[in-house]
């Protein structure tokens, strides 16, 4: 049972990491200044766009390799709460025909919260750092 949970956690971590990496990359490729302007237009200071895009881009990579999973996931959770409350909630769960709703943001939020609580799993750098040294026996060899 434990192995299935670890495999499921690995899948969540990698899928969420790739998804956020692509979202962050698109903000930079599309011209971060456009994102800054959009943030300003909805009442969020433009400089926050740089932080969000960087957390998404770098955080996505860190999730894929499993480094700092709990911290990165907590930061991504905050971004998702902000996106839902400030932008998506007003257009509804499924959107309004012009803008997507908050269903994907809610799924990303749930995934990020799960990872923030549980941390990394298989194939993660976090797991390498969290390994406890094996106890050696004090008995003398006979």
What pLDDT tens digit does each residue of the chain (142 aa) get?
689 999 999 999 999 999 999 999 999 998 999 999 999 999 999 999 999 999 999 999 999 999 999 999 999 999 999 999 999 999 999 999 999 999 999 999 999 999 999 998 789 999 888 876 666 555 555 4
- 24: which 2 tokens? 């962050």
pTM: 0.88
Nearest alpha-carbon partner for 17 in 88, 81, 85, 75: 75
Contact 85, 136 (CB under 8 A): no
Cα–Cα separations (whole angstroms), residue 83 to 52, 68, 79, 134, 135: 10, 22, 6, 44, 47
């Amino acid at each position: 049972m434990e192995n299935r949970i670890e495999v499921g956690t690995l899948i969540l971590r990698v899928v969420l990491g790739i998804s956020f990496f692509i979202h962050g990359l698109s903000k930079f490729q599309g011209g971060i200044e456009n994102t800054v302007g959009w943030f300003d237009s909805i009442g969020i200071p433009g400089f926050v766009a740089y932080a969000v895009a960087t957390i998404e881009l770098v955080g996505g990579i860190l999730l894929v390799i499993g480094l700092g999973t709990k911290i990165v996931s907590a930061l991504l959770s905050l971004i998702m709460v902000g996106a839902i409350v400030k932008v998506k909630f007003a257009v509804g769960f499924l959107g309004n025909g012009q803008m997507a709703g908050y269903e994907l943001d809610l799924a990303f939020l749930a995934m990020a919260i799960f990872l923030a609580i549980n941390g990394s799993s298989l194939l993660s750098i976090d797991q390498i750092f969290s390994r406890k040294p094996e106890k050696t026996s004090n008995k003398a060899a006979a």
